[in-house]
Structure 1
């Protein structure tokens, strides 16, 4: 894993896939090319445009739906991201969305040069609380083989930190011991283990999508997929990891299943 990260991130060596590792637009295009449904892209713009005229962000958002995600094109870990429901509530911060404050964040950004707006997905059953993010199913894949599924049932802001409710299963939706590391610092995010949610009606579609994308990407990857009213929808690939991303049980399984230089043979 360390060798792969060194080659890809620092040495710029070729990867098994055609997109840049953190490029959300490239990931979506790749997933769509391989038969996956993806969230609609509503706008793309440079941070420099907002720095020059902060009102430009309001103009971009006026042409989008009221349920949207605003984030850097090459972002990670929800940095500088906003998930907005009804044009008014920022789900990531659990407070009212302030377009002027968002413009200030983007204008001052010295890390990400471009931003995108995409649709905020709805949960399949339509019964999720509107103040919560859609449930995120993370498929750990070695090529077409699904080793584990981590389900981010909810993510709630608590003071200066946040709490993530997590459940784990296999591709048959049978409960499994968690692969999550369990931090104890609210700043890094507290993890609560919870029972499995209801099995998605489109579970077979989600599994088939994960297998197909895992085979196509050609490397060990964690693939985010959402259960929506229109079926399985791709979220993103995670291809760079640190050891803090999983616990000892996961580490042992990953070492056992790893094949070749990049994990998928």
Structure 2
């Protein structure tokens, strides 16, 4: 409670102000949800992706972001099912391990990381009926949602575990920093931060305790190349989330307003503001 109060009272950095301003412009628009939920395809020409102001909002839909990454030759998890009529998910045709996630959302909300009947995220056993009931409850809160049933990616050692998150802060093709979250649950884990050359830096966020130095993933070069390519295509600042897996670097999602600018350390705020001014000058 005290930490929350102190965070609220702390003066906002320039980076935080930029993110909050972007969030307001992106999502206070009455057309925002129509734009976000316009279903796109990797086969669509880039002109169709960019046919509305602040077109990047389309990429806040996780299905669209998959398609965009595919369009640029990046790996994505295999897709087993997509839709709202969750009673039509045929669980008996799914592999033993699979992931369910919503097309809209953040902070791993409504994500099921299933190993048989066990959800590794909330450490709870579910029947198929219970999963369907949970998904329907989320749909009642937001009927615009769809759900994706995807491949449960294995780590570089081929294990079905909660994957480490590689959160890469990118500015029009330039990488400012890599935040690694060694996740233990949707909201717990440890952080370390690195340059693209894997030199450890000061912490980037205040929402996770500091972890220990770790070796770079085997697919780091592939991950860096993918992110630079996607960031250049995205144009404006974005955090690109990636996974290091047994099949190499795999795209996760785009985060245009990470934590709404609230969790960055002083070091990160200064770094990101300098990159924004240098590489995204005049951009939202």
Q: TM-score range by the shorter chain?
A: 0.7 to 0.9
Residue matched to 1:72: 102
Q: How far apart in 2 are the matches of 1:262 and 1:195?
A: 36
Residue matched to 1:256: 274
* DSSP 3-state at the match of 2:58: coil
Q: How far apart in 2 are the matches of 1:202 and 1:107?
A: 37
Q: How far apart in 1 are the matches of 2:23 and 2:282?
A: 11
Q: How far apart in 2 are the matches of 1:228 and 1:169?
A: 19
Once the two structures are superposed, the pairs formed by residues 1-265 of structure 1 within 5 Å of their partners are 1=18, 2-11=20-29, 12=32, 14-17=53-56, 20-46=58-84, 49-50=85-86, 56=87, 59-85=89-115, 87-109=116-138, 110-112=141-143, 113-126=145-158, 130=160, 132-156=161-185, 162-182=187-207, 191-241=208-258, 242-258=260-276, 259-262=280-283
User: Could you tell which deviates more after superposition, 251-260 or 205-214?
Assistant: 251-260
Q: Would you say how many aligned residue pairs link Structure 1 and Structure 2? A: 238
* DSSP 3-state at the match of 1:193: coil
Q: How far apart in 1 are the matches of 2:112 and 2:124?
A: 11
Deviations 1:116-136 (A, max 9, x none): 10111111123x5x4x41111
Q: How far apart in 1 are the matches of 2:99 and 2:263?
A: 24
Q: How far apart in 2 are the matches of 1:181 and 1:192?
A: 7
**Where does structure 1 differ by over 6 angstroms across 4 or more consecutive aligned residues?**
none
Distance 1:236 1:35, change over 3 A: same
Q: How far apart in 2 are the matches of 1:135 and 1:200?
A: 10
Distance 1:63 1:171, change over 3 A: same
User: Could you tell which deviates more after superposition, 96-105 or 231-240?
Assistant: 96-105
**Structure 1: tracts of 5 or more residues without a match:** 51-55, 183-190
* DSSP 3-state at the match of 2:262: helix
TM-score (norm 2): 0.77
Q: Where is the strand percentage greater, Structure 1 or Structure 2?
A: 1
TM-score (norm 1): 0.82
Residue matched to 1:186: none
**Structure 2: tracts of 5 or more residues without a match:** 1-17, 33-51
Distance 1:24 1:203, change over 3 A: same
Q: Where is the helix percentage greater, Structure 1 or Structure 2?
A: 2
* DSSP 3-state at the match of 1:180: coil
